[in-house]
């Protein structure tokens, strides 16, 4: 056992103290805010107690807890300290018996009356998402709605206030497993606690999210699509050195054999429709009709997709030296960014609103402001930007963190690296695409 864990356990309060004043209500309450049982009973029995359709001021419904949103980066100097404080709080929760499991009784949302809502209230109180002054009513009122949204945001879920499949799963991960997740991730964070640069980009794989950090503050956040379970995005440290505007995409031989040849057998116009040209080793362009598509002859040639709207990398490719042939890029499949589980690439990282990130990366390069970058992209002609001041980039795996000890963030352990099965909510398999999407999405992440 580490010295840090011993110190945390040494600060743990007794279960009896934590439950004082709340045991009769059937809930394990957070320390320091437990109501006297008589006062709680009076509140629940009061004839004027509010119901779900009252117009509560939900802005303060979480009892003054810090807001979830923050411009503090995950790799902040304060994160390890905040994590230690959060771990102490979770040690107290675990020592008190954890939180109750919420019965899965179907969708719970604003307006619902169900006994499970009382348990939901207890669960949200223990984790600090709901003020204990909200009581243990079975009514899903606007206090519970606001607390549910706060909980969902902390767990990377859509903050719609609806308790359904994934919110149930996140709610019902036991407290001791969440504590273990914090302990696992503080080690990862400690390894990145040094100076990372005045400007840097951090790709957090479990969150499928990107932070652009400058002078200790997050200046941009981007939704990302990262690697599938069987084609994982690697952990790496590098520096962004080069940007490709309107990049070419070169199809690997494996894609030619497995995808392009069968597609051309079905539709001889496939290459033309997708702006893909064929070149011999000497650079001579080869007409598609001159190839026997019933053989592997095509695998001898270079297949190059031209810049434009059909290009597998769309408008931009962001390069940094690494042994994994990994990079970041735009994508024509923008609908992927709206998905909850964005683990669908072959290892590279697709970036939503990537042009904002490119403008930030290139800002010190003379002649490359937003207008000039947009003009070049509009021409659909290839052009590169070499960065005279390369920007550090860190691909990391942080599934739990706290930049504020009262706002603990958890994400799905998609690659099963945290040691508990319940932390991986969804075992994602290979994604089924139409033939054209298969080439444009999966192949975009192959060697360039």
Q: What is the C-alpha to C-alpha distance for residues 329 and 282, in angstroms, rounded to an integer?
A: 29
Q: Are 328 and 354 in contact (CB under 8 A)?
A: yes
Task: Please report which residue ranges of 155-285 form alpha helices under DSSP H.
Answer: 165-171, 175-190, 253-255, 261-266, 270-273
Q: What is the C-alpha to C-alpha distance for residues 83 and 209, in angstroms, rounded to an integer?
A: 20
> 199 pairs with which residues across the strands?
214
Whole-number Cα distances in Å, 132 to 58, 87, 206, 207, 432: 14, 21, 32, 30, 46
Closest by Cα among 319, 358, 329 to 236: 319
Is there a catalytic annotation at residue 324? no
Angle at 422 between CA 416 and CA 423, to 5 degrees: 50
Angle at 384 between CA 378 and CA 385, to 5 degrees: 105
Is there a catalytic annotation at residue 155? no
Task: Calculate Rg over the CA atoms of the chain.
Answer: 26
First to last CA, the chain: 46
Angle between helices 79-95 and 175-190 (to 10 degrees): 160
Q: Other CB atoms closer than 10 Å to residue 150's CB: what's the count?
A: 24
Pair of tokens at residue 384:
């590169």
Active-site entry in 222, 250, 329, 416: 329
Task: Please report which residue ranges of 51-174 form alpha helices under DSSP H.
Answer: 79-95, 115-126, 142-154, 165-171
Active-site entry in 155, 222, 250, 348: 348
Q: What is the C-alpha to C-alpha distance for residues 444 and 316, in angstroms, rounded to an integer?
A: 12
Using DSSP's 3-state secondary structure scheme, residue 226 falls into strand
Residues annotated catalytic, as ranges = 329, 348
């Amino acid at each position: 056992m580490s010295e840090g864990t011993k110190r945390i356990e040494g600060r743990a309060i007794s279960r009896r103290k934590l439950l004082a004043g709340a045991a009769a209500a059937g809930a394990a309450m957070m320390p320091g805010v437990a109501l006297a049982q008589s006062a709680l009973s009076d509140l629940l029995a009061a004839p004027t107690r509010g119901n779900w359709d009252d117009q509560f001021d939900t802005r303060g419904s979480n009892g003054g807890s810090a807001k979830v949103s923050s411009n503090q980066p995950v790799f902040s100097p304060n994160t390890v300290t905040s994590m230690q404080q959060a771990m102490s709080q979770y040690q107290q929760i675990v020592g008190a018996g954890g939180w109750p499991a919420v019965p899965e009784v179907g969708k719970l949302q604003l307006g619902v009356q169900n006994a499970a809502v009382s348990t939901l209230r207890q669960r949200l109180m223990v984790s600090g998402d709901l003020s204990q002054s909200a009581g243990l009513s079975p009514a899903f009122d606007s206090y519970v709605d606001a607390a549910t949204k706060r909980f969902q945001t902390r767990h990377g879920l859509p903050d719609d206030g609806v308790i359904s499949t994934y919110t149930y799963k996140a709610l019902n991960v036991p407290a001791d497993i969440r504590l273990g997740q914090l302990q696992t991730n503080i080690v990862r964070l400690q390894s990145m606690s040094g100076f990372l640069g005045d400007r840097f980009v951090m790709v957090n794989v479990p969150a499928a999210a990107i932070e652009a950090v400058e002078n200790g503050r997050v200046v941009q956040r981007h939704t990302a699509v990262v690697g599938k379970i069987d084609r994982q995005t690697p952990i790496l440290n590098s520096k962004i050195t080069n940007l490709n505007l309107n990049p070419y995409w070169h199809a690997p031989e494996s894609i030619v054999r497995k995808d392009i040849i069968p597609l051309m057998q079905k539709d001889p116009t496939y290459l033309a429709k997708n702006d893909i040209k064929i070149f011999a080793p000497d650079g001579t362009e080869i007409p598609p009709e001159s190839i026997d598509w019933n053989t592997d002859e095509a695998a001898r040639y270079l297949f190059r997709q031209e810049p434009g709207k059909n290009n597998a990398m769309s408008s931009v490719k962001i390069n940094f030296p690494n042994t994994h042939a990994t990079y970041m890029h735009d994508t024509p499949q923008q609908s992927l960014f709206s998905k909850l589980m964005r683990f669908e690439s072959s290892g590279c990282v697709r970036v939503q609103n990537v042009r904002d990130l490119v403008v930030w990366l290139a800002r010190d390069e003379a002649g490359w402001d937003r207008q000039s970058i947009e003009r070049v992209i509009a021409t659909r002609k290839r052009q590169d930007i070499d960065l005279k001041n390369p920007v550090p980039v860190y691909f990391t795996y942080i599934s739990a963190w706290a930049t504020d000890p009262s706002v603990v963030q958890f994400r799905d352990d998609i690659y099963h690296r945290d040691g508990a099965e319940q932390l991986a909510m969804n075992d994602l398999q290979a994604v089924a695409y139409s033939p054209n999407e298969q080439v444009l999405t999966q192949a975009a992440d192959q060697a360039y």
